[in-house]
C-alpha cells in the first residue's frame, strides 16, 4: 500500500463511522423510560424486545460512547449517552450490600442474576475509567477503583497467581465444572490487562501500574502458548491447560460441540484474540511506560501467527480459530475478530514496519466494508460464511454490542494515520 491508499481507507472509516455506525446507536439505544441502554436489535435495527440488560452490554456501551467522545467522534451526544449509562450502572446495577455489579437485569431495572462475574467487572473498570478520562467526571474512576479493590480482595488466587472469575452474589467462589470456579481463562486476564491499562491512565496510582504489570506477566508467563505465543483459552488452578468448556454464565456467543466442550478442546486459538492481545499489550506498555523491547518476541509471535494463519487471502477477512501450529478449524467470519484484526494489523505494521501487515489490514478492511457491514442499518452482521453471506442476522444482543467495532473504527483511523507517517518515512 502507499500513503494515498491508507488515507483513502481512513476517509472510508471516518465517513462510515460518523454517518452510519454511531447514528445507528444514538437513534435507538437510550432507554428513556427505565434508564440504561436498549441493546437488542434485529436485522432491521428494530428492538427485538428481549427483556434483559447485561452488565457486559451496559458497560461496553459506556466505553464506546466515552471513547468516541474522547477521540472526537460522534459529537457531544456521545458524552450525554455515556453519562446516561453511568447513572444506570451506579444507581441500578451496583450491589450496595456486597459490593460489585449485578450480572443481569430485566429492562425495568430488577436484577435477574446477582452473581459477581470477573469478565463483567473487567469491563466495569475499563468503561468507567474511560468515562472519567473522556468527561472529567470523577464518579467513573471512583467506581472503577472500588471494583478494582473488590477483584483484588475476592478474585485473586494468592497462591498460584491469576484471578478466579465466577462468584456468587456474595463473592463466594463457585464450584467446579460449568459454574466455572475451577478454571482460569485467557479472556478474563486479557480484559483485566485492558482494564488496568485504562485505570492506570486515569488514576496514575502506583498500585494500578503494579497490578497492570503483573497482569501482563500472567499473560506472558502463564497463558500464551510457550512455543507459538498464541492464546490458550482455559486453564486449571495450577495453569495446566484445561479442556475448553462452555460456562453456565456465558459472556460470548460461542459454538461448542454436544456436551459443552470445544471439538478441539485443548489445541485451539483465536486469530482475532491474538491480534487483540498484541495491540492491547502495546497499549499497556505505552501507558505503563514499560520497555517494548522486553516483549518484542511476544508481540511478534501474536501478530505474525494471526496474519500468517488467520487471514483469508482469497475471500478477505479473518477466520475464527485454529490450532496453535497453524491449522484452520473454522473459516467462518465473525464480527469481533474482524474488528480486532484491523487494530492489531495496523499496530503490527507500526511496530515492525513489515508491509505484509498493511496488506493483511487491507484484506480485512475490504471484507468488513464490502461484506460485514449491513448498510441497511449501519451495524455489522454478527457471523458470515467464509465467502461473506450472513449466517446470524441480529444487529445486537447482550453479547454483540458496539464495543469491538466502534473501537476498531476509531483506533484503526488513528493508527492508520500513524502508519501512513511510518510508511512515508520509510520510503
Nearer to its own copies, 209 or 324 (CB): 209
Binds its own copies by CB under 8 A, chosen from 128, 144, 174, 218 = 218
Binds its own copies by CB under 8 A, chosen from 1, 111, 139, 173 = 173
Determine, following the binding rule CB under 8 A, whether residue 171 of this chain makes contact with its own copies.
yes
Residue with cell 445507528: 24
Instruction: Output the nine-digit C-alpha cell for 291.
Output: 520497555
DSSP 54-116: EHHHHHHHHHHHHHHHHTT-S-THHHHHHHHHHHHIIIIIB-TTT-SB-SEE-TTS-EEE--E
How far is Cα 154 from Cα 176, in angstroms, rounded to an integer?
Answer: 17
Count Cβ atoms below 10 Å from residue 401 Cβ, excluding itself: 27
Q: Directed axis angle between helix 118-135 and helix 138-154, to 10°?
A: 160
Determine, following the binding rule CB under 8 A, whether residue 294 of this chain makes contact with its own copies.
no
Contacts of 28 (CB under 8 A, 6+ apart): 38, 41, 45, 47
| β-bridge mates for residue 47, sequence order | 41
Nearer to its own copies, 222 or 301 (CB): 222
Nearer to its own copies, 161 or 252 (CB): 161
Q: Are 397 and 50 in contact (CB under 8 A)?
A: yes
Nearer to its own copies, 155 or 416 (CB): 155
Least distance in angstroms from the C-beta of 74 to its own copies: 36
Binds its own copies by CB under 8 A, chosen from 222, 305, 324, 365 = 222
Least distance in angstroms from the C-beta of 294 to its own copies: 15
Determine, following the binding rule CB under 8 A, whether residue 176 of this chain makes contact with its own copies.
no
Binds its own copies by CB under 8 A, chosen from 172, 297, 325, 418 = 172
Closest-CA residue to 120 (of 175, 62, 188, 180): 188
Least distance in angstroms from the C-beta of 208 to its own copies: 10
Least distance in angstroms from the C-beta of 136 to its own copies: 24
Instruction: Output the nine-digit C-alpha cell for 139.
Output: 464518579
Determine, following the binding rule CB under 8 A, whether residue 163 of this chain makes contact with its own copies.
yes
Instruction: State which of positions 142-161 bind its own copies (CB under 8 A).
Output: 149, 152-154, 156-161
Q: What stretch of H or E contains 285?
A: helix 271-288
Least distance in angstroms from the C-beta of 215 to its own copies: 7
Instruction: Output the nine-digit C-alpha cell for 284.
Output: 499497556
Specify the stretch interacting with its own copies by CB under 8 A; choose among 120-128, 166-174, 310-318, 415-423.
Answer: 166-174
How far is Cα 352 from Cα 285, in angstroms, rounded to an integer?
Answer: 16
Nearer to its own copies, 224 or 350 (CB): 224
Q: How many residues bind its own copies (CB under 8 A)?
A: 26
Least distance in angstroms from the C-beta of 278 to its own copies: 20
Count Cβ atoms below 10 Å from residue 45 Cβ, excluding itself: 17
How far is Cα 196 from Cα 74, in angstroms, rounded to an integer?
Answer: 26
How far is Cα 252 from Cα 257, in angstroms, rounded to an integer?
Answer: 15
Determine, following the binding rule CB under 8 A, whether residue 211 of this chain makes contact with its own copies.
yes
Determine, following the binding rule CB under 8 A, whether residue 281 of this chain makes contact with its own copies.
no
Determine, following the binding rule CB under 8 A, whether residue 221 of this chain makes contact with its own copies.
yes
Nearer to its own copies, 213 or 246 (CB): 213
Q: How far is the CA of 50 from the CAs of 381, 398, 419, in angstroms?
A: 18, 9, 42
Binds its own copies by CB under 8 A, chosen from 215, 230, 377, 396 = 215
Binding site for its own copies (CB under 8 A): 149, 152-154, 156-163, 170-173, 206-207, 210-211, 214-215, 217-218, 221-222
Amino acid at each position: 500500500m502507499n500513503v494515498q491508499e491508507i488515507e483513502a481507507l481512513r476517509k472510508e472509516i471516518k465517513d462510515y463511522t460518523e454517518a452510519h455506525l454511531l447514528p445507528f446507536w444514538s437513534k435507538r439505544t437510550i432507554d428513556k423510560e427505565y434508564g440504561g441502554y436498549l441493546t437488542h436489535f434485529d436485522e432491521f435495527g428494530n428492538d427485538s424486545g428481549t427483556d434483559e440488560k447485561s452488565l457486559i452490554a451496559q458497560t461496553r456501551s459506556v466505553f464506546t460512547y466515552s471513547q468516541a467522545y474522547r477521540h472526537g467522534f460522534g459529537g457531544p451526544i456521545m458524552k450525554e449517552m455515556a453519562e446516561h449509562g453511568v447513572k444506570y450502572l451506579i444507581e441500578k446495577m451496583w450491589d450496595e450490600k456486597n459490593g460489585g455489579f449485578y450480572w443481569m437485569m430485566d429492562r425495568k431495572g430488577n436484577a435477574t442474576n446477582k452473581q459477581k462475574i470477573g469478565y463483567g467487572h473487567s469491563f466495569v473498570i475499563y468503561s468507567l475509567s474511560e468515562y472519567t478520562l473522556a468527561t472529567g467526571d470523577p464518579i467513573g474512576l471512583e467506581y472503577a477503583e472500588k471494583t478494582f479493590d473488590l477483584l483484588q480482595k475476592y478474585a485473586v488466587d494468592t497462591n498460584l497467581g491469576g484471578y478466579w472469575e465466577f462468584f456468587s452474589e456474595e463473592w463466594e467462589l463457585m464450584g467446579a465444572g460449568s459454574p466455572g470456579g475451577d478454571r482460569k481463562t485467557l479472556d478474563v486476564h486479557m480484559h483485566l490487562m485492558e482494564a488496568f491499562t485504562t485505570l492506570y491512565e486515569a488514576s496514575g496510582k502506583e498500585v494500578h501500574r503494579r497490578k497492570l504489570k503483573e497482569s501482563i506477566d500472567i499473560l506472558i508467563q502463564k497463558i500464551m502458548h510457550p512455543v507459538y505465543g498464541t492464546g490458550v483459552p482455559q486453564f486449571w488452578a495450577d495453569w495446566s491447560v484445561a479442556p475448553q468448556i462452555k460456562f453456565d454464565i456465558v459472556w460470548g456467543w460461542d459454538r461448542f460441540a454436544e456436551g459443552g466442550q470445544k471439538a478441539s478442546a485443548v489445541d485451539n486459538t483465536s486469530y482475532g484474540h491474538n491480534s487483540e492481545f498484541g495491540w492491547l499489550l502495546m497499549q499497556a506498555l505505552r501507558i505503563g511506560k514499560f520497555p517494548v523491547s522486553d516483549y518484542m518476541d511476544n508481540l511478534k509471535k501474536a501478530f505474525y501467527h494471526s496474519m500468517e494463519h488467520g487471514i483469508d487471502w482469497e475471500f478477505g477477512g479473518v477466520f475464527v480459530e485454529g490450532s496453535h501450529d497453524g491449522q484452520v478449524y473454522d473459516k467462518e467470519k465473525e464480527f469481533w475478530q474482524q474488528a480486532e484484526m484491523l487494530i492489531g494489523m495496523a499496530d503490527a505494521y507500526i511496530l515492525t514496519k513489515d508491509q505484509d501487515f498493511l496488506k493483511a489490514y487491507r484484506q480485512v478492511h475490504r471484507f468488513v466494508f464490502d461484506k460485514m457491514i449491513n448498510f441497511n442499518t449501519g451495524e455489522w452482521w454478527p457471523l458470515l460464511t467464509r465467502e461473506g453471506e450472513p449466517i446470524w442476522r441480529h444487529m445486537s444482543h447482550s453479547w454483540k454490542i458496539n464495543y469491538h467495532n466502534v473501537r476498531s473504527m476509531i483506533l484503526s483511523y488513528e493508527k492508520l494515520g500513524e502508519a501512513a507517517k511510518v510508511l512515508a518515512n520509510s520510503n
